[in-house]
Structure 1
Amino acid sequence: MVSDNEMGLVLAVASSVFIGSSFILKKKGLKRAAANGTRAGIGGYTYLLEPLWWVGLVTMTFGEIANFVAYVYAPAVLVTPLGALSIIISAVLAHFLLNEKLKKMGVWGCVCCIVGSVMIVIHAPQEQTPNSVQAIWTLAMQPAFLIYVATSMSIVLALILYCEPLCGQTNVLVYIGICSLMGSLTVMSIKAVGIAVKLTLEGVNQVWYPETWFFLMVAAICVVTQMIYLNKALDTFNAAIVSPIYYVMFTTLTIVASAIMFKDWYGQDAESIASEICGFITVLTGTVILHATREEEQASSGRARWQESGKSFNEEHLVRLYSPPECQESKTLNKTVSLLN
């Protein structure tokens, strides 16, 4: 008989395969659409007519569903770090299908992610699934978790009301901090809803408990807030900066929240906990290396294009420093270039 941890592991890995593949499918679809119409980056919607893009979207949906169900069966300390495998999948597929070459440092990043993931899987704790949504509510009402929630919400409010107007456009940690804190609460509430659904399907109806609907409402609010500020971060800063920082903060805070609420490490010896932490750090290191490699490749390709057009490296460097994010309108970039001339 398959244990809950094994089921969660299979679902988490399947989720990473689906999500990592979906990035490549969607990108190939966007390239095809750009060849036949207006690019998405400058406001075009031709990609909506491209079947390959829709295949990528459906694949990503399957991945997110698998990830959601994985949290029902396995602790967050096992499921969340395995999300890094999707980065490996997309990097390897991009190497073969998109001609985005994976350099030696990128390979080392993949190796770090794999080694760290194996360490986490080997030493992952066996979670005891609550037998009712009321039992989950009892866990959520623990003083330690209430302190975590109160602290998180206080920091989020401070970031939104005070820090965002002052430095939201210049400090990437403002938006990502909001996303990560709300994301950790999203995972906890979604896990509660998932367990309630699982128990209901097994014949133990949880629909009539008000706690189920409360967790569902919290999940909806947290997801919406998380997406709003993640979009702000991606719209304001380079994705190669946002992605690794967000992954590190979100994963860390989710594991902390789960350890407090569900006591994931309760009963484990110090050696196993230390091994999991080392595995987690190894995964984070691999993720940062992979993203740093991609950013270096993007910078190199951008430099080559500018030098081919007759611009000096200094002019190109100034444009990279002072131009807005790639998702902004191209007229702002043209204005910056004209000022340099």
Structure 2
Amino acid sequence: MDGAHRAALQLQQLPPASSADPVSEASFSYKENLIGALLAIFGHLVVSIALNLQKYCHIRLAGSKDPRAYFKTKTWWLGLFLMLLGELGVFASYAFAPLSLIVPLSAVSVIASAIIGIIFIKEKWKPKDFLRRYILSFVGCGLAIVGTYLLVTFAPNSHEKMTGENIIRHLVSWPFLLYMLVEIILFCLLLYFYKERNANNIVVILLLVALLGSMTVVTVKAVAGMLVLSIQGNLQLDYPIFYVMFVCMVATAIYQAAFLGQASQMYDSSLIASVGYILSTTVAITAGAIFYLDFLGEDVLHVCMFALGCLIAFLGVFLITRNRKKAIPFEPYISMDAMPELSTTVLSNGTFCNDGNVPCLCCPNGSHYPRVAIEHVKPDEETETQVI
């Protein structure tokens, strides 16, 4: 009896093992969130630097007499290497942090592009003029940084091992199946209006991109998580769902890039960046919340603060992109000073018409341009140019 009583007292004095689990689990979740966020920030920052390096390479070759192609320069290859490194960092970040945290952090690339653009400006500004010109960029960067801080601080702490069984379980859950049904119907309607009704509104095109992008990020997280588990020793590559997710990831990324290319031909890049970021982030967070149950068990305060961080980041990106200058298209100049008394109309696309007996050369599609330069050339007199 004494031995049994003594053993019972020892068992009562031992602290319950489950009491320390929530603390250690929360600490582990926070560390994983931090690792994922740092990888995403690093990746977007490096990608932004890479794109600006490649742009600098193209501009430098276009403005010089260097006969080399762009892919034969060290600068372009350095940009390509940095881009691959950045994309790898973003890809790996999905394996550590919830999808709802990683997706909004793409605002970092917009912030970095704005700062790099200001640093490499060739024009000289007075301090007052500089602040007046870039005040929106500074305010936008500040808001985007504040929004990013709120996103990282109040991000959901849902962490689940991306095993084949868990992914299949999420894939056949009725909330995600219902979400997929709604998304497919909406995508088909938008595609019908875009292709058949010529609805070329930027919201229509970028909604198509956002719907495809939501599936891209869902599959990216699954593929990245299964690869990380396989590297750690828990092999997941023998599950067919891995290859299904990989094919869906590649296919949606390709079609997403195709729609983005069509949008860039019709609209300004700054408008695409701001509207696309808002729509893609919203739809992707919704998809992550439904598929991976990111916000399950989160309190209302954390959800509201996370939503506030998203709104502040949206506003910051909008202000940054709103301040960008539109690109001025190249306007060829045609001089007819070899033909006296000839009045020439130079159109902005390089074609011209004249008021004499010389045949008129016009654009084959009959398009008209608002800016017309009329050049009157007379012998022994200065050339007079009038813009109407």
Q: Same fold (TM over 0.5)?
A: yes
Aligned 1:320-339 pairs, distance under 5 A: 336-337=368-369
In the alignment, which of 149, 157, 160 is matched to residue 180 of structure 2?
149
Q: Cα distance, 1:290 vs. partner?
A: 0.5
Q: For the residues of structure 2 that align with 1:37 and 1:184, how far apart are their CA atoms? A: 44
Q: Tell me, yes or no, if structure 1 residue 73 matches structure 2 residue 96.
A: yes
Q: For the residues of structure 2 that align with 1:119 and 1:223, how far apart are their CA atoms? A: 29
CA-to-aligned-CA distance 1:39-91 (integer Å, 9 cap, x gap) = xxxxx993223321221222111111111110111012211111101111121
Q: 1:338 to 1:175 in 2, by over 3 A?
A: closer
Aligned residue in 1 for 2:231: 201
Decide which moves more: 270-279 or 214-223.
214-223
Q: Tell me, yes or no, if structure 1 residue 108 matches structure 2 residue 139.
A: yes
Counterpart contact for 2:213–2:252, Cα < 8 Å? yes
Looking at CA atoms only, which structure, 1 or 2, has the larger radius of gyration? 2
CA-to-aligned-CA distance 1:86-115 (integer Å, 9 cap, x gap) = 111121122112448770111000000000
CA-to-aligned-CA distance 1:160-182 (integer Å, 9 cap, x gap) = 234323124x3112221111100
Aligned residue in 2 for 1:21: 49
Q: Cα distance, 1:339 vs. partner?
A: 8.0
Q: For the residues of structure 1 that align with 2:179 and 2:91, how far apart are their CA atoms? A: 23
Structure 1 unaligned blocks of 5 or more = 39-43, 307-318, 321-330
In the alignment, which of 303, 306, 318 is matched to residue 288 of structure 1?
318
Q: For the residues of structure 1 that align with 2:303 and 2:213, how far apart are their CA atoms? A: 23
Q: For the residues of structure 2 that align with 1:339 and 1:61, how far apart are their CA atoms? A: 42
Q: Cα distance, 1:338 vs. partner?
A: 8.4
Q: How many residues align?
A: 310
In the alignment, which of 227, 240, 244 is matched to residue 210 of structure 1?
240
Q: Cα distance, 1:131 vs. partner?
A: 4.9
Q: Cα distance, 1:37 vs. partner?
A: 5.8
Aligned residue in 1 for 2:279: 249
For 1:76, give the aligned amino acid: L
For 1:143, give the aligned amino acid: W
Q: For the residues of structure 1 that align with 2:370 and 2:224, how far apart are their CA atoms? A: 54
Q: 1:165 to 1:97 in 2, by over 3 A?
A: same
Aligned residue in 2 for 1:277: 307
Q: Cα distance, 1:207 vs. partner?
A: 1.3
Question: Match of 1:267, SS?
Answer: coil
Q: For the residues of structure 2 that align with 1:36 and 1:175, how far apart are their CA atoms? A: 37
TM-score, normalised via structure 2 length = 0.73
Question: Match of 1:298, SS?
Answer: coil
Question: Match of 2:95, SS?
Answer: helix
For 2:198, give the aligned amino acid: C
Runs of 4+ aligned structure 1 residues displaced above 4 Å come to 331-335, 337-341
Q: 1:94 to 1:258 in 2, by over 3 A?
A: same
Counterpart contact for 1:32–1:50, Cα < 8 Å? no
Aligned residue in 2 for 1:53: 76
Aligned residue in 1 for 2:382: none
Q: For the residues of structure 1 that align with 2:262 and 2:68, how far apart are their CA atoms? A: 20
Q: Cα distance, 1:236 vs. partner?
A: 2.2
In the alignment, which of 36, 44, 55 is matched to residue 64 of structure 2?
36
Q: Cα distance, 1:252 vs. partner?
A: 0.6
Q: Tell me, yes or no, if structure 1 residue 84 matches structure 2 residue 126.
A: no
Q: For the residues of structure 2 that align with 1:176 and 1:293, how far apart are their CA atoms? A: 21
Q: Cα distance, 1:270 vs. partner?
A: 0.6
Counterpart contact for 2:97–2:159, Cα < 8 Å? no
Counterpart contact for 1:15–1:66, Cα < 8 Å? yes
TM-score, normalised via structure 1 length = 0.83
Structure with bigger strand share is 2
Q: 1:332 to 1:24 in 2, by over 3 A?
A: farther
In the alignment, which of 210, 213, 232 is matched to residue 180 of structure 1?
210
Q: For the residues of structure 2 that align with 1:35 and 1:202, how far apart are their CA atoms? A: 50
Structure 2 unaligned blocks of 5 or more = 1-27, 124-129, 332-347, 350-362, 374-388
CA-to-aligned-CA distance 1:149-169 (integer Å, 9 cap, x gap) = 12112222222234323124x
Decide which moves more: 267-276 or 238-247.
238-247
For 1:29, give the aligned amino acid: C
Structure with bigger helix share is 1
In the alignment, which of 144, 164, 169 is matched to residue 195 of structure 2?
164
Using CA pairs under 8 Å that are at least 6 residues apart, name the structure with larger relative contact order, 1 or 2: 1
Sequence identity, in percent?
24
Q: For the residues of structure 2 that align with 1:90 and 1:220, how far apart are their CA atoms? A: 26
Q: 1:46 to 1:150 in 2, by over 3 A?
A: same
Aligned residue in 2 for 1:313: none
